[in-house]
């Protein structure tokens, strides 16, 4: 117990980094997902193909390979230099973005065509119809899957310790070898992850309930 | 004055030619009912009048503007052509009042208070003043359709299109919706109504169009079309539905 209490300040330091990276990644990832989904719903062939290729590539390769490709691969090119945090956020964002785009695309497509027709028949533009009529309804339907992907992405950030980001896992490694008590340390790290993910689920069901009722 | 002019209208879905050669003129203040067997193209015809369907050939002129012209801002035309759907298509995440106010809030310059006042007025007109803050999920089918009519009227259209507005309703509420439509007709609204309600067509329609196989087979004033149909196909259809 003393070990845990003594290690907590370090672990919390790492947790801050984890949360910081997750926060930016999930926002950027969601925006990427939205843009890619909207592109895939347009009739422009080339853009469509690029968007689909992006999703296929991300889905078809492991996260760790994407991370190494961006941090070691892209960074080895002479004209570019990403620090670890940027590379980490970029990888998680792109990865989450690809999955979000599929969630958003299928969510939008699940809304009855009559909704768009009714809105367009009033003289509202396609863009406004999307924003005011389709997306609010689609978002409600997507919420459980969005939560799910967010949790997966949150856990993916733990792999960033491999490129030397000082997240909670990295701090855990240091503490485990410094204290010689890996059982206590990794248990604590696990509990911290669990509590945060549990809070995310609670938040999600709360939002879901607020929106439902109609 | 001619408000809607349709010339040689054609519409195909891939290989399937749904509208073959439609020619019709509809005057201001006229109520035209379109009847015919399912698959005759009557709903497609209606949906071409505000270009909800891309038009394959011919011309549709609404209030002097050819809507087949792709350079034309179709949204401007649609503001002037209200539409009511069989499945209501109310926005489930908005209250009745918000449904009605959505388009004017975005497209009109007037302030919110004025638009809200007008929306409440429309709700009163369709007999649902007490449902302003209710979500569509809590309304019955007939109430939903009346809200949908109010929503379609919110932009002050000069033409109203009705696509089988009572087909998805329980029999006992059909009358409420038809009553609202009749009231509109009496106020001089130009209306095109695709319907299976022969009673409504006979009573409220100024003219009835019978469609079959992608053509207008016969059109006439209701008394004549129902009382003395000229075409064999019209006779055979009417003998089945009357």
pLDDT value, residue A80? 86
Q: Is the pLDDT of residue A213 over 70?
A: no
Q: Is the pLDDT assigned to residue A6 strictly greater than 80?
A: yes
**Residue A211 binned pLDDT confidence (cut-offs 50, 70, 90):** confident
Residue B190 in 3-state DSSP? strand
User: Which of A117, A124, A136 has its CB closest to that of B89?
Assistant: A117
pLDDT at A127 over 90: yes
Confidence of residue A58 (pLDDT cuts 50, 70, 90): very high
What integer is the mean pLDDT of B37-41? 93
Nearest of A42, A170, A44, A25 to residue A99 by alpha carbon:
A25
Q: What is the pLDDT of residues A99-124, one digit of tens each?
A: 999 999 999 999 999 999 999 999 99
The stretch A2-17 carries a mean pLDDT of 90
CA-nearest residue to B156 within chain A is: A122
CA neighbours within 13 Å on the CB side: how many for A157? Answer: 30
Average pLDDT of the residues of chain A: 94
- Of the candidates B157, B158, B132, B154, the one whose C-alpha atom is nearest the C-alpha of residue B143 is B132
Residue B203 corresponds to which tokens in the numbers above?
């009573």
At B231 the three-state DSSP class reads coil
Instruction: Determine the Cα angle at A110 with ends A106 and A114, to 5°.
Output: 140
Residue B23 is given by DSSP the state E
Average pLDDT over residues A118-131: 96
pLDDT of residue B1: 86
What is the pLDDT averaged over residues A132-141? 93
How do strand B81-84 and strand B159-163 relate by DSSP bridges? Answer: parallel
Please list, in sequence order, all residues whose beta carbon lies within 8 angstroms of the beta carbon of residue B226, skipping any fewer than 6 positions away. Answer: B198, B201, B202, B208, B238, B242
pLDDT given for residue A81 in this prediction: 87
What's the rounded Cα separation, in Å, for the pair A138 and A142?
6
Residue B88's pLDDT is what?
97
The percentage of residues in chain A with a pLDDT greater than 90, rounded to a whole number, is 86
Q: How many CB pairs under 8 A join A and B?
A: 68
Testing the interface with B: which of A43, A112, A123 to mutate, by most B Cβ within 10 A?
Answer: A123
Q: What is the pLDDT of residues B110-157, one digit of tens each?
A: 899 999 999 999 999 999 999 999 999 999 999 999 999 999 999 999
Rounded to two decimals, the ipTM of the complex is: 0.93
Contact criterion met (CB < 8 Å) for B92 and A114: no
Q: What is the pLDDT of residue B139?
A: 96
Q: What is the mean predicted confidence (pLDDT) over A197-205?
A: 94
State residue A214's pLDDT score: 53
Interchain CB contact of A128 with B (< 8 Å)? yes
Q: Which residues contact B139 (CB under 8 A, 6 or more apart)?
A: B90, B96, B131, B147
- The pLDDT, as a whole number, for residue A210 is 81
* Span B60-80, average pLDDT: 95
CB < 8 Å from A in window 207-236 of B = none
Segments in A41-112 forming alpha helices (H): 45-59, 63-68, 75-76, 84-109
% of chain B beyond a pLDDT of 90? 97
Among chain A residues, the shortest Cα distance to B157 is held by: A122
């Amino acid at each position: 117990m003393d070990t845990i209490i003594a290690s907590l300040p370090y672990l919390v330091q790492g947790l801050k980094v984890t949360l910081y990276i997750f926060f930016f990644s999930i926002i950027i990832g969601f925006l990427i997902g939205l843009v890619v989904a909207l592109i895939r719903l347009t009739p422009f062939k080339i853009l469509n193909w690029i968007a689909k290729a992006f999703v296929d590539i991300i889905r078809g390769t492991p996260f760790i390979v994407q991370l190494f490709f961006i941090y070691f691969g892209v960074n080895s090119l002479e004209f570019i230099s990403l620090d670890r945090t940027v590379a980490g956020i970029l990888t998680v964002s792109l990865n989450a973005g690809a999955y979000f785009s599929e969630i958003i695309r299928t969510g939008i497509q699940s809304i009855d065509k009559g909704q768009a027709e009714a809105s367009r028949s009033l003289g509202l533009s396609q863009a406004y119809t999307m924003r005011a009529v389709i997306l609010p309804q689609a978002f409600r339907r997507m919420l459980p899957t969005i939560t799910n992907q967010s949790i997966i992405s949150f856990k993916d950030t733990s792999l960033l310790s491999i490129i030397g980001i000082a997240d909670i896992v990295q701090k855990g490694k240091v503490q485990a070898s410094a204290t010689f008590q890996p059982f206590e340390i990794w248990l604590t790290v696990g509990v911290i992850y669990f509590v945060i993910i549990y809070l995310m689920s609670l938040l999600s069901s709360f939002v879901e309930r607020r929106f439902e009722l109609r | 004055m001619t408000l809607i002019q349709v010339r040689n209208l054609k519409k195909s879905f891939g290989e399937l030619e749904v509208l073959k050669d439609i020619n019709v003129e509809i005057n201001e203040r006229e109520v035209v009912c379109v009847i015919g067997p399912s698959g005759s193209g009557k709903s497609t015809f209606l949906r071409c009048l505000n270009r909800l369907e891309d038009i394959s050939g011919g011309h549709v002129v609404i209030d002097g503007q050819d809507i087949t012209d792709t350079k034309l801002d179709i949204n401007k035309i649609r503001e002037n052509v209200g539409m009511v759907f069989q499945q209501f298509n109310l926005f489930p995440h908005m209250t009745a009042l918000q449904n009605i106010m959505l388009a004017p809030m975005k497209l009109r310059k007037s302030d919110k208070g004025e638009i809200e006042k007008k929306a409440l007025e429309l709700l009163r007109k369709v007999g649902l003043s007490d449902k302003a803050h209710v979500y569509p999920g809590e309304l019955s089918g007939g109430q939903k359709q009346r809200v949908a009519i109010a929503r379609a009227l919110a932009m002050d259209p000069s033409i109203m299109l009705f696509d089988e507005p009572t087909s998805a309703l329980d029999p006992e509420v059909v009358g409420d919706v038809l009553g609202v439509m009749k009231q509109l007709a009496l106020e001089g609204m130009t209306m095109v109504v695709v319907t299976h309600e022969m009673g409504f067509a006979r009573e409220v329609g100024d003219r009835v169009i019978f469609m079959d196989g992608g053509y207008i087979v016969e059109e006439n004033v209701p008394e004549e079309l129902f009382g003395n149909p000229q075409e064999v196909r019209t006779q055979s259809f009417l003998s089945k539905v009357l």
